[in-house]
Structure 1
Amino acid sequence: MTLVVETPTWPLHVLVIDSPTPLHRGSPAEFRRRGISLSRSVSGFAALRMLAHEPDSVVVAPTDMTDMAVLDFIEIVVELAHAPVLIGLTATLPDGLVAEGLSRGAAGLVALPLTPSRLASAVGPMRRGHDHAPDVELTCGRLVLNAAEHRVLVRGVEVNFSPKEFEVLQYLMLGFPKLVSLDELVRNFADGDPTHAIRVRITVSRIRTKFALAAPGLPPIIETIRGIGYRIAG
């Protein structure tokens, strides 16, 4: 596989403040495949010190952060550090807090615990100009995916995919040559709900069908490791 990255500020650094609520589900590799480098800060004050060294970070401030009031923290970060802040929604959510947080400069909302897909969706609209997803071309054998142009070619034949199908295929290609577990795909593309694993299986099945129609006679491009997950064939 070849990976061409033209923008050096990828992945985006996201700093999450500790709180009593579980902060995230998913491994660092899963977040990185979504263009996110995730780190934690033990407190709001520690996060402010970290921002001095990571000025391009996005901050997630849980509504139940304990060392300082979340509204005060949002205001300080926006005015002094000039960093975008997402309000991390938890079960501890006083009436009016979200509206007040947005009025003080918060850039948006994201529910905790964070998942790679949930966080990627939240930071997408507020990426700074130099932090947009780089033009990435992935090549796995006879398969080429161009993220910037939203194009997939198999032996030179273009195959059209829905946005969700494209994202799942890209995720599998980013994992090449390793296997990607079904659990990992569920966390990223089915809201982490194991009862929705069928959604992932249906999406993979549709991808396979489109490849078969576009390039009949080719061996399967996506291999199934029964009971475990999927892998792009070499």
Structure 2
Amino acid sequence: MSRILIVDDEPQITRMLRASLVSSGYEVIKAGNGREGLEVFESSKPDLVITDLSMPVMDGLALTEAIRRISRVPIIVLSVRATEGMKIDALDAGADDYVTKPFAMPELLARVRAQLRRQALPPQESTTPEGTLNAGDFELNPEVHRVLVRGVDVRLTPKEFQLLAALLQKPDRILTHRALGRFIWGAAEEGQVEKLRTLVAQLRKKIEHGEHRYIHSEPWVGYRLTPSPENL
């Protein structure tokens, strides 16, 4: 049974989350702010963390940074639209996903399942820049610049290849525009959002056909790749 830590200062949200997660078969522990959440995290070793961003004592951004210094456990942040910049900062600091308040529980549960699946991948499916990346329908070999999608060879430009490699290294995670731009264009990433959007559109045309949709846009934030269409 997976153990999930909820960190939120709103009792009503915490109660709703706990009830839904417990009924879905998860063990749930909770904390009312970031500082308490970090203490509970260190003592209970959860398999996944769900944290609000706006909290007293220690906010969700500081909690995310603190957890990332000691663990790679999946972190899902909860955020209202008004904190878009803080949401992006949290993702760049190491959060794996976010859900915007108010949210539908089926969506959150789907994202929890996706993160726990990713965490449970066997070592040979871990992604490394030097070796072949294998995830879901994809196989990418940097040494020979080759991409297979569902066993079919797909020809990509160098920048399309870099974009797919970046997304495959962190499947089922949101990568911000800033992070992707830095990966592809280096120090020249500032102001490249439109250029990135064009590159994503080009890549989609080459790897997505019919019902097979892999790249998902997160408005104003970035992109995520689900290596198997059924992941979310």
Q: TM-score range by the shorter chain?
A: 0.3 to 0.5
TM-score by length of structure 1 reads: 0.43
Q: Whose helix proportion is higher, 1 or 2?
A: 2
